Chain A
Amino acid sequence: MELKDLIIQKLNDKFKDIKLEIVEYRNELTILFDKQNILNVCKFLKDDDDLQFRLCEDVTAIDWAKTHNRFTVVYHIFSLKNNFRLSLKANIDESDCSIDSVSSVWRTANWEEREAYDMYGIKFNNHPDLRRMYMPEEFEYHPLRKDFPLMGITGSLSLPKK
């Protein structure tokens, strides 16, 4: 059985009541599901003996600039055992802009989530150290949101005292 089918079958067996949306594009497998299940799915994918997605390559978000499900959080994980990359996705609504942190599953996610928080303002619940990654702590905006202008906002960054 091909690995892709194995992953899908295993997930379907384990999480019977979760609706998984599976997309394949340019030979890459992406799985979309509800944000409540993120922690369970990630734990399962990491610990399963056949899959072993032990390397978390990237956590980021997309701002779709729309009213319903404005953000999508994207996880890229890699299985060193099978040399296979998998993308996980979960949609987030702007009114409840938060998702569970996966930094307890992969320690890499710690900084990646901090970056997503800094750039998109998504709160990661139970994150051990949710500070801004790049921008100063006093900065009020989230620069990668589509409503933040490319030129920046005048006066949003305080200059050092003379």
Chain B
Amino acid sequence: MQKLTKEDVHPKIIEALLGADTNITIEDALENEMILNMGPQHPATHGVLRLLLRLDGETVMACVPELGYLHRGYEKMAENMSYYEFVPHTDRLDYLAPMANNVAYVLAVEKLAGIEVPPRAQYIRMMVAELARIASHLVAMGALAMDVGALTIFLWTLREREKILDIWDILCGARFTNSYTRIGGVANDVQPEALAKVKWFIDQFDEKLEECEKLLNTNRIFVERLEGIGVVSAEDAIDLGLTGPSLRGSGVEFDLRRATPYLFYNEMDFKVITHKEGDSLARYFVRVEEAYESAKIVRQILDKMPQGETMANQPKKVLPKKAEVYSKMEELIHDFMIINFGINPPAGEIYSAVENPKGELGFYLVSKGEGSPWKCKIRSPSFVNLQAIPHLVKGHLISDVVAIVGSIDPVMGEADK
């Protein structure tokens, strides 16, 4: 963090900072307003988030987040490539849960193109999405604890996450950037070893998470750093557009898996976790309890997963199997057409949203009947959730800013697109 002078900051940012409505009065003789720069290269901002803080003493009067340090223009790129080619790029949005992004994107394309996906593929997608949620929440938990000073827990939760990455390794051959889903199904059927590993992981997971919880839930330093910090009421949370655990931490029972069921979530038995306090501690509790619920869903999926195909049989829209491309004429033609000209969904536009670990991830796709989307808008949860930061940090101390950013759990790859 460094103290800034007027020359360092763009005049428009200064204007925004000074123009922000600051209805806080501090009865203190100490008058030393200053502007402090936090980030973009600051470990506690979870990536390249830059916060400009207007301080009175140590109290934050106003805050202006500056985004765009990781802006890669994915929406522009999507307009210039085929629907298939964009799947690997979705990995790089929320890089803590790439599987969940893959699922969100292919669901949107399938809705646009009208592709029916076989149930086994849907179950596999649901399984990987829930495991991705567990992985993401584990990192969120660990990073939040580390932000407020507890280092051990970060190592413990990452150890658990490592096991999920090992499952990805067996499942699709990559640990981080998975690109496992395909339009019309998944890249390959789930291997028996992978299923056995998922079962083993889920069986021991509750116990391990309880161990992590024991370190934190009764830890006075941890609780006191978070309790009553960054409170947002249910009304404000909806108005600010918060989704995911940040919204449920304010007592709003809104989960897209329940509200607008996709995949087979309507057949799953799980609880939508809500806490009504609305502070950073509540958001932490929502994440932990959601991890248990996700494990519960994965258990049900393992029981219910049907046998069958993992790719839809719609030759003009879904890529055929490689073996068939080499041996059959018809498949070779379809493969050539899809690779070179795309899947050409009928002209129209759809918005498809799913519940990602961070909140609602939506894809707005506009097709003109061509091989690449005319427009692809990514509604990323981190971007919208970050908007709440100025509201949350107002009146708190600088050290609380770190805890609040941690409790919102933004991923800049997704916020900057």
Contacts and interface: CB of A to CB of B under 8 A. Distances in A.
Interface of A: 25-26, 28, 30, 54-58, 60, 62-63, 74, 76, 80, 83, 85, 87, 106-108, 110-112, 115, 119, 129, 131-137, 143-144, 148, 150
Q: Which 7 A-B pairs have the closest CB atoms?
A: A108-B241, A134-B68, A134-B71, A58-B379, A83-B259, A60-B377, A111-B387
A26 B350 contact: yes
Most buried by B among A56, A58, A62, A132: A58
B98 interface: no
Contacts of A63: 375
Interface string B4-37: 0000001011001001000000000000000000
7 contacts: A25-B348, A25-B350, A55-B243, A58-B364, A85-B353, A111-B387, A131-B16
Contacts of A60: 364, 375, 377
B241 A134 contact: no
Nearest to B68: A134
B209 interface: no
B144 to A, nearest CB: 23
Interface in B66-83: 67-68, 71, 73, 75-77, 80
Contact of A85 (B351, B366, B416): B351
A107 B350 contact: no
Contacts of B67: 133-134
Interface in B47-88: 67-68, 71, 73, 75-77, 80
Interface string B370-382: 0000110101000
Given A85-B351, A144-B75, A54 B364 contact: no
Contact of A107 (B12, B19, B239, B260): B239
Given A25-B350, A80-B252, A144-B75, A108 B387 contact: yes
A55 B360 CA distance: 12
Contacts of B80: 150
Interface of B is mostly: mixed
Contacts of B366: 62
B351 A58 contact: yes
B76 A144 contact: yes
B238 interface: yes
B362 A76 contact: yes
Nearest to B112: A26
A23 to B, nearest CB: 9
B377 A58 contact: yes
Contacts of A28: 350-351
B270 interface: no
Given A57-B353, A131-B12, A135-B68, 10 more contacts: A28-B351, A55-B243, A62-B375, A80-B259, A111-B383, A115-B383, A129-B19, A131-B13, A133-B67, A144-B76
B95 interface: no
Contacts of B252: 80
Given A25-B349, A85-B260, A135-B71, A107 B240 contact: yes
Contact of B241 (A26, A57, A83): A57
A28 B351 CA distance: 8
Nearest to A109: B241
